[in-house]
Amino acid sequence: MAWVSEKSRNKIPYTTIDGTHDDRSAYNPSGTEADGINWWTNGFWGGMMWQMYHDTGDEKYKDIAVISEAKLDRCFEEFYGLHHDVGFMWLLTSVANFKLTRNPESRKRALHAATLLAGRFNPAGGFIRAWNDLDEGDTRGWAIIDCMFNIPLLYWATDETGDPRFKQIAMTHADTAMTAFVRPDGSVNHIVEFDPYQGGVVRTYGGQGYEEGSSWTRGQTWAMYGFMMSYKHTGKSEYLDTAKRIAHYFIANIPEDGVIPVDFRQPPEPKREDDTAAAIAACGLIEIANVIETYDKSIYLKAALKLLKALEQRSDWSERSDAIVQRGSAAYRAALHHQPIIYGDYFLIEAAFKLKGDGLYLW
């Protein structure tokens, strides 16, 4: 990490090109597009730096994290490119900074982001709207399972300000997600469309998975670890039960070799894998194991270790690549597969620090 953090010091990487990090902060510089400075993954690089700073105490990592946090201010200025992923973006940058340094500017940024997220709440449907219309058609009623990782920003805002509204919105969204996204077998929908005027489910979509009704693996992990996060913030036992139900489904579907497909219900060919899902799942499984006191603990821990061992063997630990995790897939129907994606590295690092027992909890 030491060499690559210096090498990519002024970037906000998403993937690599010929082994070198790209830079989303230089991409689509207008600031109004969702895939440039507003890209949902733009907090992960800062988050990695804060994890390293917390572990090593080396100021170099803090300085690099602060560079990407400041760059994200352009999103607030432009406003139009933003979406529900303000949680992914500012929990790992400004909330992390505030937790570790008490920087008042970071607190202000994080509260600003939380307010934007709360403003996306639809009271009739009890959900947080995911995306703006952009090119996708009418998305006023769309919510996606990934939002379970954004709502911890709302829990943080209530803890920080004492205003219960943020937490009320987060819990209403989580309650809706428990019934509308999670299926009885523990698998999870990616996208649910609600009636934005009356509430109620209109239909579901396969989203980044294979098809409607399938089981996009990264979506399963956003749900499993996401409900665990809501349990940690609220103590509501139904959230833990839901995280465990999703975990049981996930564990039952882990292939013998520990390599996770893009979708548990995809056809056997072409072979499409997503190592980022393995890294996120490992984090969620370790968190579940951490709150279980019976011998069942080992079920979750053993599954996490199996995923991490497979990941360790498939990753590039050399200086040939700026990324460690090499075989991520953004979506089943993405143009590219088996490429490094920044959150693969972030969650691998988070999992490693969790196993060490002294990780920095940023969600």
Asked whether position 332 contacts ligand GLY by CB under 6 A, the answer is no
In degrees and rounded to multiples of 5, residue 147 shows phi and psi of: -60, -15
Which two three-digit tokens encode residue 353? 């620090």
Min CB(86)–ligand GLY separation in Å: 12
CB 24, CB 41: distance < 8 Å: yes
In the complex, the smallest distance separating the C-beta of residue 330 from ligand GLY, rounded to whole angstroms, is 6
330 part of the interface to ligand GLY, by CB under 6 A: yes
Q: Is the Cβ–Cβ distance between 53 and 100 less than 8 Å?
A: yes
Cα separation, 328 vs 335, whole angstroms: 12
| DSSP-assigned letter for residue 315 | S
Whole-number minimum distance, CB 40 to ligand GLY, in Å? 6
Nearer to ligand GLY, 61 or 250 (CB): 250
Pick 12 or 52: Cβ nearer ligand GLY? 12
Does 146 bind ligand GLY (CB under 6 A)? Our answer is yes
146 is catalytic: yes
Nearer to ligand GLY, 109 or 218 (CB): 218
- Looking at 55, 58, 85, 175, which residue is catalytic? 85
Size of the site for ligand GLY (CB under 6 A): 5
Strands 201-205 and 191-194: antiparallel
Of 71, 218, 232, 337, the one binding ligand GLY by CB under 6 A: 218
208: contact with ligand GLY by CB under 6 A: yes
Six token digits for residue 287: 């968190």
* Cα 55–chain centre separation: 21
Whether 85 is catalytic is: yes
Active site residue: 55, 133, 146, 241, which one? 146
DSSP 270-286: S--B-HHHHHHHHHHHH
Binding test (CB under 6 A) with ligand GLY, winner from 14, 39, 40, 239 = 40
Q: Minimum distance between the CB of residue 252 and ligand GLY, rounded to whole angstroms?
A: 22
Write down the residue that tokens 């009623």 correspond to: 141
Cβ-contact 244, 316 below 8 angstroms: no
Write down the least CB distance from residue 209 to ligand GLY, Å. 11
Rounded (10°) angle between helices 297-314 and 237-253: 50
Residues in contact with ligand GLY by the rule CB under 6 A? 40, 146, 208, 218, 330
Active-site residues, by number, are: 85, 146
